[in-house]
Amino acid sequence: MFYRENGQFKTTYKADQQAFVIPQDRWAIVAIVVFAFVGVPLLVDEYMFRAILVPFLILSLAALGVNILVGYCGQITLGAGASMAVGAYAAYNFLVRVDGMPALAAILLGGLVAAAAGIVFGAPSLRVRGLYLAVATLAAQFFWDWAFLRIKWFTNNSSSGNVSVSDINLLGWTVNTPTDKYLFCLGILVAFTMMAKNLLRGNMGRQWMAIRDMDVAAAVIGIRPMYAKLTAFAVSSFYLGVAGALWGFVNLGSWEPAAFSIDRSLQLLFMVIIGGLGAISGGFFGAAFIVILPIFLNQMLPLVGGLLGLDVSIALAAHVEIIIFGSLIVFFLIVEPHGIARLWATGREKLRLWPFPH
């Protein structure tokens, strides 16, 4: 009834080519963004910001980067955490070694360095495909893990790769309270999501999707596989690098290489697969799922145990937590292999016809 597009005629090419063709979508997005900027800071408390919202925003950005590579270009990567690490440490080096470097510029430069590293480690994708490539990307993961631990120059000679960044200063605005951090990350996330949306519906995104669907066929119709694959690696790594820098600068404040270990890579891949491959909203759903579920389980298990009259020890709770987490992942994959974004799309189709489905 409310979500129905008949009667909406487009009379110009411009109207037909906008990012969100249906006005309801457009207004819904605007409303969500406005609510995120204005409403959320009024409603939630500091704990929410620190424990849930800031990690959620940053991981959404990272998941968006992974989705560009895995969901749109079809190159499975298990080295996403490495790109985040490169971004974080490169940004740190820019900040520490260059006098008067603004934090935002350092973060973006960190993203660029991560993009360069991504191109180098993405180069094998020209020869190696599929699961072989997925395992080969682990080379990047383990190499950078090692590099940030052992090569002292990268970490400004700190022991065990532990580095820290004080509060970020942005044109006189000091980002130090949880609300500031939230707004800072939100701003970057909104800008990057817009960029991704436009990139993906443009020439480059279409090339990636052609490569994903079948690279030989794409090459036959004149798409250069090398250019398409390497740009996908570069853009994806840029997103991941920026997300990594944010994770280090804003969320953690001080970090060591273990923050970007292989577990992080797997977590990011989980997000895009559970959220939905090849859908921008997928990254957000996946990040929400992965960030909130452990916290939820963590809070709920002692309660449930208390109700049943069981004394749940911390170790047992942790084990039950990963058991439930693992089984939920398998369950979701069985129920909806195309991710939460697909459920959402199905719901929208239903909504279009509601309340007269025939």
Partner 1 sequence: MAFFLETLLGGLMSGMLYSLVALGFVLIFKASGVFNFAQGAMVLFAALAMARFSEWIPGWLGIESLFVANVLAFSVAVVIMFIVAWLIERLALRHLVNQEGATLLMATLGIAYVLDGIGQTIFGSDIYKIDVGMPKEPVMMLESVFEGGILINKEDFIAALIAALLVISLSIFFQKTATGRALRAVADDHQAAQSIGIPLGRIWVIVWCVAGITALVAGIIWGSKLGAQFSLQTVALRALPVVILGGLTSVPGAIIGGLIIGVGEKLSEVYLGPFVGGGIEIWFAYMLALVFLLFRPQGLFGEKIIDRV
> Residue 174, SS3?
strand
* Size, binding site for partner 1 by CB under 8 A: 49
Interaction between residue 334 and partner 1 (CB under 8 A): yes
Interaction between residue 300 and partner 1 (CB under 8 A): no
**Which one of 42, 171, 308, 315 is in contact with partner 1 (CB under 8 A)?**
315
**Shortest Å, Cβ 313 to partner 1:** 11
Q: Tokens standing for 7?
A: 């009667």
168 pairs with which residues across the strands?
A: 175
Interaction between residue 146 and partner 1 (CB under 8 A): yes
- Among 106, 83, 105, which Cα is nearest to 96's? 106
Binding mask 200-239 for partner 1 (x = CB under 8 A): --------------xxxx--x-------------------
CA gap 58, 232 in Å, rounded: 20
DSSP 166: -
Region from 29-37, 202-210, 293-301, 318-326 binding partner 1, contact rule CB under 8 A: 318-326
164 pairs with which residues across the strands?
A: 254
Binding mask 244-273 for partner 1 (x = CB under 8 A): ------------------x---x--xx--x
Alpha carbons within 13 angstroms on the beta-carbon side of residue 139 total: 13
Interaction between residue 358 and partner 1 (CB under 8 A): no
- Among 80, 106, 72, which Cα is nearest to 91's? 106
Burial of 3 (0-12, 13-18, 19+ CB in 10 A): middle
- Among 96, 67, 102, which Cα is nearest to 239's? 67
Interaction between residue 314 and partner 1 (CB under 8 A): no
Binding mask 13-52 for partner 1 (x = CB under 8 A): ----------------------------------------
Looking at the Cβ atoms of 35 and 296, the one nearer to partner 1 is 296
CB 250 within 8 A of CB 184: yes
Binding mask 93-132 for partner 1 (x = CB under 8 A): -------------------------------x--xxxxxx
Interaction between residue 325 and partner 1 (CB under 8 A): yes
Instruction: Measure CA 70 to chain center.
Output: 12
Q: Tokens standing for 121?
A: 């480690």
Looking at the Cβ atoms of 304 and 353, the one nearer to partner 1 is 304
The beta strands (E) that lie in the chain are given as 163-164, 168-170, 173-175, 254-255
> Residue 164, SS3?
strand
Region from 44-52, 148-156, 193-201, 297-305 binding partner 1, contact rule CB under 8 A: 148-156
Looking at the Cβ atoms of 44 and 262, the one nearer to partner 1 is 262
Interaction between residue 59 and partner 1 (CB under 8 A): no
| Three-state secondary structure of 329-346 | HHHHHHHCCCCHHHHHHH
Q: Count of CB atoms within 10 A of residue 344's CB?
A: 15
Region from 14-22, 48-56, 133-141, 176-184 binding partner 1, contact rule CB under 8 A: 133-141
- Among 67, 83, 351, which Cα is nearest to 209's? 67
* Site residues, partner 1 (CB under 8 A): 70, 76, 124, 127-132, 134-136, 138-139, 142-143, 145-146, 149-151, 214-217, 220, 262, 266, 269-270, 273-274, 277, 315-316, 319-323, 325-330, 333-334, 337
